[in-house]
Amino acid sequence: MNQAYSTPRRKHSPAKGITALIFGILYAAFLLLHNLLPTRMGIALILESVLPWTGVFLALVLLMFLIRFSWLSAIGFLVPALVWTGMFGPALLPNEDSGDPDLTVATHNVGARMPQPTAAAQNIVDRDPDIVTIQELESLSGKIIHKELDSSFEHSQVVDTIGVWSKWPMSEPEEVDLGLQWPRAFATTISTDHGDVRFYAVHMPSVRPGHESMRNAALRRLSTTVETDGAEHVIIAGDFNTASTDNNMETLVPSLKDSREEARGGFGFTWPAKFPVTRLDHVLYRGFDATSDEVLERGSSDHRAVLAGLNLK
């Protein structure tokens, strides 16, 4: 007599997908609590500078979900996906065309060794901005750009390595003390067709992993200066050497708005120019609404230029 054999059924494991759940929850916690990252050895600086890119971990969690399909792995994917989308999704929404802005502002760190300075200056001039601020003017290429912009704008102010060019008259520059041994920021009042605008041109100290204290102190000093400025319409533009997602930017934002965050249309990374992974160059303001924020095509600097359109409130 033949004995019938049956294949035993595989028991369902209640822990199926637990790895994806744990990994996903830890990643979501990292996003929400990134301001608690240690500053030692530049850990916070590096990770916060590329925070949007950590979304690649979502692909890993998704792969875990597909391999170990279960409600635990589903939660492990959905929780960090919702957190990441809540933090960075609005920036990816398309920009709505709001027509011609009241004024446009351009900022560009032209670098110390720019092989085509004339073309770089013309690239900005061709966009017909109302106000331009340039950083690192001390080099030969910077001096050439200085001369090119002088021929295109009626008004200019230059302090050490930073300058501002405008279609409208400007007051004498007032150096902003950032606690450094050399000027890296100044303020001027620009008499625009729409009223006076207080304009700050800035170039924060360079930063390296583990050596952020000078830049952070300069940011705090700038924040104090701007907070005590009673002007209704204020613009702060330049190279902040600080990513939008860097916790230290909270000293300036959200008390100020950021043109890229308000105008949307992508992350607007500006550095390094060949393959930008973070945004170090910003147009911040109060008393305005941003209508556009555009990162210009790569030139010969290690930064890409930013062009922002603003409407007075």
Pick 307 or 39 by higher pLDDT. 307
Please give the pLDDT value at position 218: 95
Q: Which two tokens stand for residue 254?
A: 């959200």
Please give the pLDDT value at position 7: 47
- Does the structure show a pLDDT above 80 at 193? yes
- What average pLDDT is seen over the chain? 90
Predicted confidence (pLDDT) per residue in 13-49, tens digit: 556 689 889 999 999 999 999 989 988 888 899 999 9
pLDDT band at 112 (very low <50, low <70, confident <90, very high): low
DSSP sequence for 42-83: GHHHHHHHTGGGGGHHHHHHHHHHHHT-SHHHHHHHHHHHHH
User: Cβ(141)–Cβ(117) under 8 Å?
Assistant: yes
- Does the structure show a pLDDT above 70 at 10? no
- Does the structure show a pLDDT above 80 at 8? no
Residue 238 neighbours by CB distance under 10 Å? 26
**Which of helix, strand or coil describes residue 163?**
strand
- Going by C-beta distance under 8 Å and a sequence separation of 6 or more, which residues neighbour residue 42? 208, 209, 210, 211, 212
Find how far residue 9's CA is from the centre of its chain.
55
Please give the pLDDT value at position 17: 82
**C-alpha dihedral (91, 244, 190, 163), degrees to nearest 10:** -130
- Does the structure show a pLDDT above 90 at 179? yes
Pick 249 or 281 by higher pLDDT. 281
d(CA 254, CA 256): 5
User: Cβ(231)–Cβ(155) under 8 Å?
Assistant: no
If you average pLDDT over residues 156-165, what whole number do you get?
Answer: 96
Find how far residue 253's CA is from the centre of its chain.
11
- Sign of torsion, CA 209 213 214 218? positive
Q: Which two tokens stand for residue 298?
A: 């790569």
- Does the structure show a pLDDT above 90 at 221? yes
Please give the pLDDT value at position 4: 47
If you average pLDDT over residues 248-257, what whole number do you get?
Answer: 84
- Going by C-beta distance under 8 Å and a sequence separation of 6 or more, which residues neighbour residue 202? 162, 176, 184, 185, 222, 236, 237, 238, 239, 240
Q: Which two tokens stand for residue 124?
A: 């900005």
Please give the pLDDT value at position 138: 86
Predicted confidence (pLDDT) per residue in 278-306, tens digit: 999 999 999 999 999 999 987 778 899 99
Please give the pLDDT value at position 13: 53
- Does the structure show a pLDDT above 80 at 113? no
Kindly give the pairing relationship between strand 195-203 and strand 131-135: unpaired
DSSP sequence for 195-215: EEEEEEEEEPPP-BTTB-HHH
Find how far residue 273's CA is from the centre of its chain.
14
